[in-house]
Chain A
């Protein structure tokens, strides 16, 4: 299990360049009607020996891919660059970058220090204003260069959009293979760009719906161990698996509370499913719903004060919100169709869901009061939205109809909140049930 190491940024002083006063600051505004991705030039990070230079090129490749994949940036083809990275060390020749229509420029350097550690610095430049916007340096181990690249990507993203980034994150999901009636499902994890992929289980035990802890390197999920479906906890660092509680019936649909201290889940007993929480520290179990209908798929608001969940207590699957103590239950979904899998955005402003209407599945969002309902994607079967920690990008899975031989295709996708930039995520085999981690601490 890959160990995550803390990386602390060090601010770099501004290089002495002439500022261009009176010009508005460079900013990626995605709310305007004619949004165009921001042209940005990302140069190979300089290295004073071949080892450092290779890491520099690798970092640049990861940063470029991240920013391009977000749909908000348009990296310029490096073959068009005029100024070389050697002379760039002394500062940009802004004319060279203006002439290739680059609004922003990223330069950087990589050093393998004598103590064996890796030092990476970068600067983000506003080409038209001819000034530095950000300069940061990081020190870590050489093996961690990928994480540094993601952190650099997040810093650039945040500086230019005003929003938190989401590149230094991982996605846990269920890797699937085989025909429909003999589907093998394994727990898998990867960086959000698809790299660093590994399988956490071998598929001999059916596993479903993994979710990340917001505060620790743990995931919770449903596993059929000895034909007993129950919620478990897996520590990603130690590999230790632990049964959550000692419930008499099937427990499923688990999520963490925002403070990481509780698991909220459903328990099915005697044909009835209700929502419970268990405090991981005290093991105290609290029942939150007491209704003969199906109550499941609970998700906390980021302030921990409210919970959205899925219930058919009114006759059909709909979305309901309640206080964290189970009081004040009110329905929020009133559109046509069935509503399911609600997930509260980490920004608190929206709830994502799966909707089924007239044989078509949709991924949509609505405000917590149920207004402003908007569909983002649709298909034969799209399901299980999960939010990136910046509350701006979502992932879900899309499954195609199976053929008469039972062959079926299921893949992960990401999509921007605006409904644009839907992209397939590269996974080694089929995939479902994605869950996005918080920013890695």
Chain B
């Protein structure tokens, strides 16, 4: 059953990778998004080292996004996490940390808890897919680590995320 899941997931990777990450228009200086890195690597024809952070960002996507005040995985997020599960299966020695983040439109302590909930939502889903929980740590940064500058709904939508960090 595992092998079937892996092959299906891998074939869906390219498509899912384009759909799940929202349009990141006009990135500001100093904010290097993974999308830029992905394009640069692909244009240079450089292959990311399998199992590296770049590899994960290209094949899966660096993060999933959430609705306001919610930790529910939307269907697009679920697809990404499924790809993440496949990636973890393909790289069985890798451990990742799931970082939960919120936008700035809430209070600090509640947002720490909400970020934890978001990271945990991803972790639970991965474990339900068969990933060993020992490989998955979580951390919440609440509203402290926005990836998108500015106080606009677009920025807030991107800052409501769970980000995947390869640890080893």
Contacts and interface: CB of A to CB of B under 8 A. Distances in A.
Interface of A: 179-181, 183, 185, 206, 208-209, 222, 227-229, 250, 252-253, 266, 268, 270-273, 294, 296-297, 310, 312, 316-317, 338, 340-341, 354, 356, 359, 380-381, 383-384, 399, 401-406, 408, 433
A356 B105 contact: yes
Given A271-B120, A294-B113, A296-B113, A181 B108 contact: no
13 contacts: A250-B140, A266-B109, A268-B140, A297-B107, A317-B110, A356-B106, A356-B107, A384-B108, A403-B149, A404-B28, A404-B150, A405-B149, A433-B108
Contact of A179 (B30, B114, B124): B30
Contacts of B149: 179-181, 402-406
B77 to A, nearest CB: 15
Contacts of B109: 209, 252-253, 266, 296-297, 310, 340-341
A179 B146 CA distance: 10
A296 B151 contact: no
A328 B71 CA distance: 29
Given A273-B113, A402-B149, A183 B120 contact: no
5 tightest A-B CB contacts, nearest first: A271-B120, A406-B149, A401-B151, A340-B107, A273-B113
Interface in B89-140: 97, 104-110, 112-114, 116-117, 119-121, 124, 139-140
B10 interface: no
Contacts of B151: 380, 401-402, 408
B157 interface: no
Contacts, number: 111
Interface residues of B, number: 32
Q: What secondary structure prevails in chain A residues at the interface with B?
A: strand
B3 interface: no
Contacts of B106: 317, 338, 340, 356
Contact of B112 (A250, A316, A354, A433): A250
Contact of B107 (A228, A250, A266, A341): A341
B116 A250 contact: yes
Nearest to B122: A271
A183 B144 contact: yes
A403 B146 contact: no
A326 to B, nearest CB: 18
Residue among B106, B110, B114, B124 with max Cβ neighbours from chain A (10 Å) = B110
A433 B112 CA distance: 14
A293 to B, nearest CB: 9
A179 to B, nearest CB: 7
A268 B145 CA distance: 19
Given A181-B146, A270-B120, A272-B117, 5 more contacts: A179-B30, A180-B149, A252-B112, A271-B119, A340-B110
Contacts of B1: none
B31 interface: yes
Contacts of A404: 28, 149-150
A354 B108 CA distance: 11
A221 B110 CA distance: 15
A294 B31 contact: no
Given A209-B108, A252-B112, A271 B117 contact: yes
A403 B119 CA distance: 28
B147 interface: yes
A275 to B, nearest CB: 11
Nearest to A400: B151
Contacts of B104: 381, 399
A384 B107 contact: yes
Given A402-B151, A404-B28, A268 B107 contact: no
Contact of A250 (B97, B139, B150): B139
Contacts of B116: 250, 268, 271, 273
Contact of A406 (B28, B113, B114, B124): B28
Contacts of A296: 109-110, 112-113
Interface in B1-47: 28, 30-31
A185 B144 CA distance: 10
Interface string B74-88: 000000000000000
A396 B116 CA distance: 25
Contacts of B139: 227-229, 250
B62 to A, nearest CB: 15
Contact of A266 (B105, B113, B146): B113
Contacts of B119: 271
